[in-house]
């Protein structure tokens, strides 16, 4: 049974058409005039047009099926939340500026120039109402990766100074301090020392040569510090030569989420340089979905060459370590529903890893209906959880997730992404929901066999 705390209207049975989108703020950064903003947006839209994006932007059939895959549209019936509509301006820019028939589009005025009003309106569609979860990309009969293009369209929006205020401030803080939550190297060390004492675990820091570099997300460092102790327990138990580094510990990448490629590159290179410096053979990424996308699939491209080390999400590391017998775990007598982080599973290709781990833990894993690669997103990915004005909409779409989880009737809910966890925690509190999101890695750490021989 669930109990609603009464502070917020649950509103789970309301007619979908009854939903009224909140009044939208149009945030602006910098003091550019409208013309300058338009030019910046166009210039940076165009920079993303390559053979892959061009075929996608040219190939849309306007069939509208992507709307049925998007949690925002499914929960509101608002046609503006149709995924392909979210990149309409990006498409418009392509057809007018770069496409094979751009000359005719301009000559006859078939595709008008994007206006400042449109760009402002699309701020809500490209940021508040898209978590870049990529579910829409799986339904498209043309195979268009719409989510990937939302990320690219954000590049133009950032340069035009047209992104949500909170996301900009978070990304700016990450660029200035190295952490979206302002966690400095000193603060990180302090938190590590605290966790080492609290959990009586050895946590190596700034070791000069190590095989494995571990890193964290600021969300874990600040909100879920046990993750640091759990990481240490696991890597120690596996007998790894490993370390955290104060010159490269932050795995989140708000440059990527906000659309600033320079900031994205800086954050990525910081981690890569730290790994190269210590001669790491493996970089183990924490429980963070977008960190996996930023480093595993985009890191080498930011570096400009293949990475000299392997990149593993912690769930992949755990699966490898358990499958090879490097670590062993006690059986856990509980039933578990596992929430797949979109960037790790659906878009990252590591769906099986978490399932391997759950198997070793011996839990009764209850796969959600349409779980795994077709999972509903937590609603907070893509930077959405930072955007306060999007809270009402985010809570609204979370109902899909609640239904998906509740149908399993599992005892516990786990994931392997601190951002998902944060977004679940927020919605859990909002709705007074019975499920509390837990961490897959922490369950492993809590159940490590002392004797690994």
Partner 1 sequence: MDLLEFARGPALQWAAYILVAGTIWRIVGIVLLEKKPDYSEPRKSGGYPAAIKVIWTRAFTAEPFAKATLYPKMMAYVMHIGLFMVIFLFTPHIVFFEGWTGFDWPGLPNSVIFFLGVATVVSGVALLVRRLTNPVLKLISNFDDYFSWFVTLLPVVTGLLIPVRALFRYEDLLAIHILSVALLLIWLPFGKLGHTFLVFVTRGTTGMVFERRGAKT
Which positions lie near partner 1, rule CB under 8 A? Answer: 49-52, 54-56, 58-65, 67-69, 73, 77, 79-80, 82, 84-85, 88, 98-101, 110, 137-145, 296-301, 303-307, 310-311, 345-351, 370, 373-374
Instruction: Report the interhelical angle of 34-46 vs 88-97 (nearest 10°).
Output: 80
CB of 345 to partner 1, least distance (A): 8
Residue 193: how many CB atoms within 10 A of its CB? Answer: 12
CB of 41 or CB of 136, closer to partner 1: 136
Give the pair of three-digit tokens for residue 92.
Answer: 């418009």
Cβ 416 vs Cβ 287: under 8 Å = yes
Q: Rounded to 5 degrees, what angle do the CA atoms 407, 412, 416 make?
A: 105
Tell me the CA distances in angstroms from 437 to 334, 359, 415, 451, one per residue in order: 15, 19, 7, 29
CB of 266 to partner 1, least distance (A): 18
Residue 445: how many CB atoms within 10 A of its CB? Answer: 24
CB of 304 or CB of 325, closer to partner 1: 304
Starting at the edge strand that comes first in sequence, how are the strands of the sheet with 212-214 ordered?
A: 242-243, 212-214, 282-285, 310-313
CB of 254 or CB of 376, closer to partner 1: 376
* Nearest Cα residue to 448 out of 277, 369, 332, 355: 332
CB of 168 or CB of 346, closer to partner 1: 346
CB of 409 to partner 1, least distance (A): 20
Give the pair of three-digit tokens for residue 189.
Answer: 């060390």
CB of 268 to partner 1, least distance (A): 12
CB of 172 or CB of 310, closer to partner 1: 310
CB of 185 or CB of 342, closer to partner 1: 342
Indicate the SS3 state at residue 100: coil
CB of 194 or CB of 370, closer to partner 1: 370
Based on C-alpha coordinates, what's the Rg of the chain? Answer: 22
Q: Tell me, what DSSP letter sits at residue 439?
A: E
* Bridge partners for 336 per DSSP: 365, 412
CB of 372 to partner 1, least distance (A): 8
CB of 38 or CB of 70, closer to partner 1: 70
Instruction: Annotate 175-222 with DSSP letters as a single string.
Output: HHHSSTT---HHHHHHHHHHHHHHHT----BS-SS-SEEE-B-HHHHH
Cβ 286 vs Cβ 303: under 8 Å = no
Q: Tell me, what DSSP letter sits at residue 295?
A: I
CB of 87 to partner 1, least distance (A): 11
CB of 66 to partner 1, least distance (A): 9
Residue 436: how many CB atoms within 10 A of its CB? Answer: 12
CB of 387 or CB of 402, closer to partner 1: 402
CB of 186 to partner 1, least distance (A): 33
Tell me the CA distances in angstroms from 135 to 78, 88, 427, 438, one per residue in order: 17, 18, 21, 24
CB of 165 to partner 1, least distance (A): 28
């Amino acid at each position: 049974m669930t109990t609603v705390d009464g502070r917020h209207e649950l509103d789970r049975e309301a007619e979908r058409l009854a939903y009224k989108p909140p009044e939208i703020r149009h945030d602006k950064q910098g003091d550019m005039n409208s013309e300058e903003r338009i030019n910046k947006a166009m210039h940076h839209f165009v920079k993303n047009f390559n053979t892959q994006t061009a075929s996608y932007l040219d190939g849309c059939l306007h069939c509208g099926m992507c709307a049925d895959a998007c949690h925002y549209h499914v929960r509101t019936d608002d046609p503006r939340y149709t995924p392909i509509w979210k990149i309409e301006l990006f498409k418009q820019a392509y057809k007018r500026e770069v496409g094979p028939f751009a000359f005719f589009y301009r000559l006859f005025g078939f595709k008008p120039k994007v206006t400042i009003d449109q760009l402002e309106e699309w701020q809500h569609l490209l940021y508040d109402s898209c978590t870049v979860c990529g579910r829409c990309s799986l339904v498209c009969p043309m195979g268009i990766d719409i989510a990937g293009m939302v990320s690219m369209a954000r590049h133009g929006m950032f340069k035009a100074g047209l992104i949500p205020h909170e996301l900009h401030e978070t990304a700016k803080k990450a660029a200035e301090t190295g952490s979206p939550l302002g966690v400095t190297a000193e603060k990180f060390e302090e938190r590590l020392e605290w966790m080492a004492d609290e959990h009586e675990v050895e946590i190596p820091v700034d070791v000069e040569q190590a095989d494995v570099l571990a890193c964290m997300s600021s969300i874990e460092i600040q909100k879920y510090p046990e993750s640091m102790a759990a990481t240490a327990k696991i890597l120690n138990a596996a007998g790894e030569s490993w370390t955290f580094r104060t010159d490269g510990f932050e795995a989140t990448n708000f440059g990527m989420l906000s659309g600033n490629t320079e900031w994205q590159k800086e954050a990525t290179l910081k981690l890569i340089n730290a790994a190269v410096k210590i001669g790491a053979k493996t970089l183990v990424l924490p429980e963070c979905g977008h960190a996996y996308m930023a480093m595993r699939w985009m890191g080498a491209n930011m570096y400009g060459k293949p990475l000299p080390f392997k990149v593993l999400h912690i769930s992949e590391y755990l699966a490898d370590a358990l499958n090879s017998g490097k670590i062993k775990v006690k059986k856990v007598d509980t039933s578990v529903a596992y929430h797949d982080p979109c960037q790790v599973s659906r878009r990252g290709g590591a769906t099986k890893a978490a399932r391997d781990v759950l198997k070793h833990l011996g839990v009764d894993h209850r796969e959600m209906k349409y779980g795994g690669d077709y999972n509903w997103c937590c609603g907070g990915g893509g930077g959405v959880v930072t955007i306060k004005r999007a809270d009402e909409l985010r809570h609204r779409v979370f109902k899909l997730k609640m239904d998906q989880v509740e149908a399993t009737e599992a005892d516990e809910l786990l994931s392997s992404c601190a951002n998902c966890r944060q977004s679940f925690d927020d919605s859990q509190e909002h709705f007074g929901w019975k499920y509390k999101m837990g961490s897959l890695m922490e369950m492993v750490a809590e159940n490590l066999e002392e004797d690994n021989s």
